[in-house]
Structure 1
Amino acid sequence: MTEKHMITTVTLNAAIDKTYYLPAFPLGKMSRVQRFNAAPGGKGINVAKVAAQLGEPVTATGFVGGMNGEIIKQLLDQIGIAHDFVSVAGESRLCLNILDEAKGTSTELLEQGPSVDEGAQKAMETKIRDLASRSRIVCFSGSLPAGVPKDYYVGLVAIAKEAGAYVILDASGDALRFGLEAKPDMIKPNEDEVAALLGIEVADEEALRQAVETLLQKYDMDRISVSLGGAGSMIAAKTGCYRVKTPKVDVVNTVGCGDSFVAGMAVSLARGSSFEDGLALASAAGTSNAMTDQAGMIDPEVVDRLRQQVQITRL
């Protein structure tokens, strides 16, 4: 296996992420936008952007369509990220994030995106088989597009694992529940999803610890990361369960923090870093993203500083 593409990210519902910056956002009234930003988006693309900023070779794949799809590829070209997409009929989606600077709030409007036919689905399976054979890490992130079956991730995860890649699955709902059947190496659910997957209630951190350890063993995974928002995260691994606390920062925007965490984890795995160093890097990347006003944007110098402040405790 070559190391030409150390990390491959898969975004089945890629998007143009447009952010409007407004001094105030009064509902039901006209607002004039004087400052905005457009960037390639979707959870997997956010992972690719952060991995690239951390200096790791990465290739982005997924489905794109129409003029929006061409713009997504052009925007990736502009920031130097390699890509190898499957084209579909229809238009890739536009996702709008409205930042109310007075209230410090973020409002997201997400289009559904194009429907993906069976031919494109088969083409993606072939694409994953090729890219995974040249990748150390494959990250599947985000929602499924219209037209694909709920268990679509099962086949893709299995293909990537058969090719010898370490597989991270960051999905939710049915996409996650079915995807687990292929036993990805790592998942990143939230507390509610952990509870739903096991059909239990998670009342406190001790109950969460027991739940993630049960889930880890049930699906024979390498690790599970559960975000606890500003309180940090909990990680279950074969070596035990860990509580991670991140330094307090001024939060500007929470969109893309989880994707930045996944990117940090993927980069640490690709580099063969120690488990705790990987947790520190991932946590610092997620925190750095929160300090910026764009999803999938970090400051590597800030990440280096923050990773020294991350506290990791074995439970």
Structure 2
Amino acid sequence: MKQIVTLTLAPTIDKSSSVEEIIPEHKLQCSEPKFEPGGGGINVSRGLKRLGLDSVAIYPSGGLTGQRLHQLLQQEGLEQHPIATRNLTRENFIVVSRKTNEQFRFGMPCPELLESEEEEILTTIRHMQPKPEYIVVSGRMPPGIKDDFIAEIARIAKEDRAKLIVDTSGEALRYAVEEGVYLLKPNQNELSKLTGKNISTIEDVKKAAEAIINKGKCEVIVVSLGGDGALLATRGFTEHIKAPPVEKRSTVGAGDSMVAGMVYGCEKKMDVRHMVRMGIACGSAATMNPGTELFKKENAERLYLQMIAEL
């Protein structure tokens, strides 16, 4: 039996709270804080769990915050494989003003991974048993990581005949695409940086995605367009898929929820049009919840059925 593996290179604990109003120089009384595991791949694993799919979350873990992250994932019933690191796992802080419903997000710096820690992550993925069917690399890259790190994972995926799904940015993304991936999920800005072109319209997005597909380095590209849905591109086919209208309360975790929905669609052998709609449904459902909360399964399923009824 094959499995789904997620990799998060910059995991975090998201600590969220609220205050009545944000006022400079005042002591602000916060509500009871909420602690949640965070980071791209970790959120993908959490989303898959909500959809009824198990996965193995691989992530670097250091110090007391790393231990706390491990505990939080245990509480959610996630299978995990932390890689011990010298540097502490980071924390982020989110605070909401109850008066205005504005959200303030404070992201702490990513700790650097040592070269030996990078190698241990690669070794762990290389020797996974059973071999993964899907490897999902999602989230930001930590400082100092080798540019070809994800490209090395792409080579491992080829050896294991696993499908690599990538949602990241920067030079690591460029190297990964050159090596070859199954599914790529950039946003419009990341696609612009990847291609070196100014991309401002849906037609620009379509042409850029088609150019990458035609090079034979990627089977499927899904460009996230925020409230405008996503642009799906595969060999000989493109489609702009609109997002369903929902009342948005927070966009935190929407992108990771979208990836989780697409991985679910892939595992359930949906065709690409249905798979992307499942992803958009999960991403849209996540925006319906406050703070850092991911999607609710019932909301995602309702939005998905609504979207496929329009096909």
The Cα shift of 1:113 comes to 3.3
For these two proteins, the number of residue pairs brought into alignment is 311
Match of 2:85 in 1: 88
Contact 1:246–1:283, Cα closer than 8 Å, also in 2: yes
Pair 236,9 (structure 1): closer, same or farther in 2 beyond 3 Å = same
- Higher mean alpha-carbon deviation, 105-114 vs 280-289, is at 105-114
Looking at structure 2, the residues matched to 295 and 241 of structure 1 have their Cα atoms a distance apart, in angstroms, of 32
Match of 1:210 in 2: 207
Q: Does 1:181 align with 2:178?
A: yes
- Counterpart selection for 1:262 from 259, 263, 273: 259
Match of 1:197 in 2: 194
- Higher mean alpha-carbon deviation, 176-185 vs 21-30, is at 21-30
Written as runs of structure 1 = structure 2, the 5 A alignment for 1:132-151 is: 134-151=131-148
Paired letter, 1:19 = S
TM-score normalised to structure 2 length: 0.93
Contact 2:179–2:217, Cα closer than 8 Å, also in 1: no
The Cα shift of 1:98 comes to 1.9
- The C-alpha deviation readout for 1:132-182, integer Å capped at 9, x for no partner, is 852211100112223422322111222123211111110012221222222
Q: Secondary structure at the match of 1:287?
A: helix
Contact 1:245–1:312, Cα closer than 8 Å, also in 2: no
Looking at structure 1, the residues matched to 206 and 177 of structure 2 have their Cα atoms a distance apart, in angstroms, of 19
Pair 246,30 (structure 1): closer, same or farther in 2 beyond 3 Å = same
TM-score normalised to structure 1 length: 0.92
Paired letter, 1:30 = K
- Higher mean alpha-carbon deviation, 123-132 vs 205-214, is at 123-132
- Higher mean alpha-carbon deviation, 127-136 vs 160-169, is at 127-136
Match of 1:310 in 2: 307
Contact 2:177–2:217, Cα closer than 8 Å, also in 1: no
The Cα shift of 1:230 comes to 1.0
Paired letter, 2:45 = A
Match of 2:12 in 1: 15
- Counterpart selection for 2:102 from 96, 100, 105: 105
Written as runs of structure 1 = structure 2, the 5 A alignment for 1:29-108 is: 29-108=26-105
Paired letter, 2:119 = K
* Superposition RMSD in Å: 2.0
Pair 111,105 (structure 1): closer, same or farther in 2 beyond 3 Å = same
Structure 2 residue runs of 5 or longer lacking an equivalent are none
- Counterpart selection for 2:223 from 209, 212, 226: 226
The Cα shift of 1:195 comes to 2.0
Q: Does 1:274 align with 2:247?
A: no
- Higher mean alpha-carbon deviation, 155-164 vs 222-231, is at 155-164
Pair 40,203 (structure 1): closer, same or farther in 2 beyond 3 Å = closer
Contact 1:65–1:87, Cα closer than 8 Å, also in 2: yes
The Cα shift of 1:293 comes to 2.1
The Cα shift of 1:255 comes to 1.0
The Cα shift of 1:294 comes to 4.2
Looking at structure 1, the residues matched to 135 and 310 of structure 2 have their Cα atoms a distance apart, in angstroms, of 28
- The C-alpha deviation readout for 1:266-310, integer Å capped at 9, x for no partner, is 111112122222122111100111111243622111111111222
Q: Secondary structure at the match of 1:84?
A: strand
The Cα shift of 1:190 comes to 1.4
- The C-alpha deviation readout for 1:189-217, integer Å capped at 9, x for no partner, is 11122222222222321122111111222
Match of 2:292 in 1: 295
What is the aligned-residue identity percentage?
28
Structure 1 residue runs of 5 or longer lacking an equivalent are none
